[in-house]
Structure 1
């Protein structure tokens, strides 16, 4: 059996424009959890986290349960793996670790950058909120981290395109600021 080596989707250095930094984050395990009808509270209790309401994130220790769509959440963190889930969990479970890329966008112009790409008004976004949306034409799970920071999850197969689109928007925001200086 060959030894498989985990590699980052992009393997690029962080970039900064207008004081805002885009970086690829090594993705920890990510497990999609879709509770059976009426079992969301029981699933949350079994995981030790509240099953998130729409557009929210619940956290405990190093694990996060991120709302990812109707009746679905992503369990992300060091403790998240299909092998460590409680036996008999009343949910459909799927390991999504290889399917996503995780990026962070942090800085005073993060909202301005995302305004060019995401059809949401994020000016009032607060830590603990999550949104299922689009980044240009790519699917996106966006997590507000507070203090001008966001975590972005998109499909790994679209990682280079997402990076390019975000970096281009960052450069345009920086150019706009240079014009008004």
Structure 2
């Protein structure tokens, strides 16, 4: 019988550092999608605050902090990242474990915005996209979630099955930005 070894989505691919930008894998912990039942949006937000210390996020926003964050994930949807979801939330929302479904990476450094500008059709400059802002968008041909988690730091999520492509696209753009700065 073969012994199976669990691997993270980006195992062997990261970290990568090019120029002043670093791409690393995030050990996200538990990931749970939350979709409030009709008329339960406020009650879910209050229960999420009581159970996990954060409100249900508004459109294009994230709440919480590193290690425990709720991210807007689409109309009437959020994803709780970090803590195990309180089972009591199941009376107010459809909850689904997503822990193995996503690759989560962190792009950080002074050129992170420039790297993403090559890949994403959204203005992610700090003046328009502040800490706690999030977007579901395309990165080249990948559907991703991007959340600003610091002045020069972004959390990027893509389907686990696309982890190699995610890293490739980001690394290629990082090299392009670094080469342009070297000239």
Same fold (TM over 0.5): yes
Distance 2:110 2:175 in 1: 14
Q: Tell me how far 1:5 sits from its aligned partner.
A: 4.7
Distance 1:155 1:18 in 2: 27
Per the alignment, residue 167 of structure 1 pairs with 171
Given that 2:25 and 2:104 are in contact with CA atoms closer than 8 Å, whether structure 1 keeps it comes out as yes
Per the alignment, residue 115 of structure 2 pairs with 113
Q: Tell me how far 1:89 sits from its aligned partner.
A: 2.5
1:71 corresponds to which of 57, 61, 76: 76
Distance 2:177 2:166 in 1: 17
Q: Tell me how far 1:75 sits from its aligned partner.
A: 0.5
Distance 2:59 2:75 in 1: 7
1:89 corresponds to which of 88, 91, 97: 91
User: Taking structure 1 as reference, are residues 14 and 94 closer, same or farther at Cα in structure 2, changes over 3 Å only?
Assistant: same
Per the alignment, residue 137 of structure 1 pairs with 141
Distance 2:3 2:136 in 1: 35
Number of residue pairs aligned between Structure 1 and Structure 2: 175
User: Taking structure 1 as reference, are residues 4 and 116 closer, same or farther at Cα in structure 2, changes over 3 Å only?
Assistant: same
Coordinate RMSD, CA, aligned: 1.9
Q: Tell me how far 1:41 sits from its aligned partner.
A: 1.3
User: Taking structure 1 as reference, are residues 43 and 168 closer, same or farther at Cα in structure 2, changes over 3 Å only?
Assistant: same
Distance 1:113 1:61 in 2: 22
Distance 2:4 2:44 in 1: 32
Per the alignment, residue 52 of structure 1 pairs with 57
Per the alignment, residue 34 of structure 1 pairs with 35
Given that 1:63 and 1:80 are in contact with CA atoms closer than 8 Å, whether structure 2 keeps it comes out as no
Unaligned runs of 5+ in 1: none
- Report the secondary structure of 1:93's partner residue: strand
Per the alignment, residue 14 of structure 1 pairs with 15
Distance 1:159 1:33 in 2: 23
